[in-house]
Amino acid sequence: IHSYDLFVWEKWMEDLLPIVNSALIGKFRIGQIFAPEFRENIAPWKDRVKVYEGDVLQQKWSGAPVEFMYVDAMKDWSLTCGIHNIFMRHLVDDGYVAHQDFAFHGVPWLHLYTYRLRDWLQPVHHVPNSFTVLFRLIKALPRDLLELSWDYTNFQPGEIDAAYEWAASVVGEEKKLDIFFITLNKSEKDFSPSTLYNDYAINERLFHWETQSRVAEGSKIANRYINHKKHDHQIALFVREYKKEN
């Protein structure tokens, strides 16, 4: 097993401790290295684990075949493409990749990335009650997909919509959720004419929301929004009054 991590304690880790491991509360300072704690936890299996401390993009792979990858580090486009470029060319036929964050709404680039690779990397299982989805390499990646440098500018709106439709079909029913980010008071300085949506609360239970300008009436996305109750599809609203508010 080859394990890569920065091993730097961050604020979000502290926030999770009451849920995942209260014994560690107050043990580390923000910015402190916690690799010794990790090594202590894996001590019974230390002969089977090689630990790499630091930025994964600064690491090199030996070139050995990779049978299984568990990925919890594709936190932005740079890390997604970088990890892909280092390791994916070495994944064996019928090898597996588990994307820990796939069913999490906060990593939209991961859905675009896996959608582009869907003819080679096939989803096979959504781990129940988790964000993790397992993929299997059904055929070798072509040469032009071994080195990636993608970001959002490489994707057209139509492909983005198709990617998110596909991603929603991959996960279990409990993860099927649309999140609408709403700014109530919009100014022409901060918003283009096509995004000056007329969103407002009607009363305590009803909210008037205008869909994105590129979503056509009668489209799959529009029907999903309109018929969300019928299909037990959830919608969550995240509302702020002004753009400059957190």
Distance CA 173, CA 221 (A): 17
DSSP letter at 232?
T
Contact status, residue 48 vs residue 1, Cβ threshold 8 Å: yes
Number of H helices, E strands in the chain: 6, 10
- Taking the chain (246 residues) in consecutive chunks of 10 residues, what is each chunk's mean pLDDT? 96 87 91 96 96 94 97 96 97 97 90 97 93 96 97 92 89 72 81 82 89 79 82 80 72
Which pLDDT does position 246 carry in this prediction? 54
User: What six digits make up the tokens of 189?
Assistant: 């300085």
Amino acid sitting at position 131: F
> Among the residues of the chain, which ranges form H helices?
11-20, 35-41, 77-87, 108-116, 157-170, 220-226
The predicted pLDDT at position 175 comes to 63
Q: Indicate the SS3 state at residue 118.
A: coil
Query: If you search the block for the tokens 């300008």, which residue do you land on?
Result: 213
> Beta strand pairing status for 121-126 and 177-183?
unpaired
Instruction: Give the C-alpha separation, 7 to 37, whole Å.
Output: 10
| Sequential DSSP letters for 7-45 | -B--HHHHHHHHHH-GGGTTTS-TT-B-HHHHHHHTGGG
**Structure tokens that stand for 14 in this block:** 């502290």
> Does pTM top 0.85 for this prediction?
no
- Contacts (Cβ under 8 Å, ≥6 apart) of 184: 199, 200, 239, 240, 241, 242
Is residue 122 within 8 Å of residue 135, measured between CB atoms? Answer: yes
